[in-house]
């Protein structure tokens, strides 16, 4: 059984919270809102945020609310980073004015509009760094970019997360299995 919901969340300096029907978190990087479901209460006690539930049937929502609140507090104080690598000859990316242009071996280049709140930098045209205060948003943008050309297990080409391990598959062998 997970006990994530019982862990208190420390409030870093510069982060302000308002508790009502939803938890509003504001810090130097931005502002986020976390919904508080029925049966779960949020309290600010001596610089820590504590989340409790009224009954055991709200155990799942208890842990979820705590995780979302912790992600929001971390996001507005330090931010979230997601990194991608582009692997393949001629594959590259450029970013200008919030529009990322990918060249991924198709007959055309792909333009990707960055949502507000996400910053993107490109190193050496093949390493992408995404930064945002919203963990869900930066993860979804990274997943959408990876979907443009998913890693190919036969050629090891495509867009992948930095550190993602791929197992290279062996292709077909020449004339094996014919005529039998």
Which contacts of 49-56 are long-range, i.e. CB under 8 A and separated by 24 or more positions? 49/8, 49/9, 49/11, 49/17, 49/73, 50/8, 50/9, 51/5, 51/9, 53/5
Q: How confident is the model at residue 59 (pLDDT cuts 50, 70, 90)?
A: confident
> What domains are defined for the chain?
4-77 (3.90.930.12), 80-161 (3.90.930.12)
For residue range 102-147, what is the model confidence (pLDDT) as tens digits?
Answer: 999 889 999 999 999 899 999 998 899 999 999 999 999 999 999 9
Residue 17 contacts residue 24 (beta carbons within 8 Å): yes
* Residue 94 phi, psi dihedral angles, 5° rounding: -135, 150
For residue range 37-51, what is the model confidence (pLDDT) as tens digits?
Answer: 898 888 888 889 888
For residues 46, 49, 55 and 56, what is the CA-based torsion angle, rounded to 10 degrees? -120
Residue 122: what pLDDT?
92
State pTM to two decimals: 0.83
Report DSSP state, residue 98.
Answer: T
Question: Over 80: is that where the pLDDT of 175 sits?
Answer: no
Give the count of beta carbons closer than 10 Å to the beta carbon of residue 5: 20
């Amino acid at each position: 059984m997970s006990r994530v919901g019982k862990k208190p969340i420390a409030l870093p300096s510069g982060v302000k919270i308002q508790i009502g029907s939803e938890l509003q978190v504001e810090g130097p990087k931005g502002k986020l809102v976390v919904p508080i479901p029925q049966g779960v209460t949020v309290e600010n006690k001596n610089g820590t945020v504590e989340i409790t539930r009224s009954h055991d049937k709200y155990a799942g929502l208890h842990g979820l609310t705590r995780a979302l609140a912790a992600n929001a507090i971390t996001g507005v104080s330090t931010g979230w980073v997601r990194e991608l690598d582009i692997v393949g000859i001629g594959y590259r990316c450029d970013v200008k004015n919030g529009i990322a242009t990918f060249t991924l071996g198709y007959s055309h280049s792909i333009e990707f509009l960055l949502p507000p709140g996400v910053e993107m930098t490109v190193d050496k045209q093949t390493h992408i760094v995404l930064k945002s205060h919203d963990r869900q948003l930066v993860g979804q943008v990274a997943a959408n970019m990876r979907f443009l050309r998913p890693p190919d297990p036969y050629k090891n080409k495509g867009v992948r997360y930095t550190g993602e391990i791929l197992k290279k598959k062996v292709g077909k062998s020449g004339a094996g299995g014919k005529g039998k």
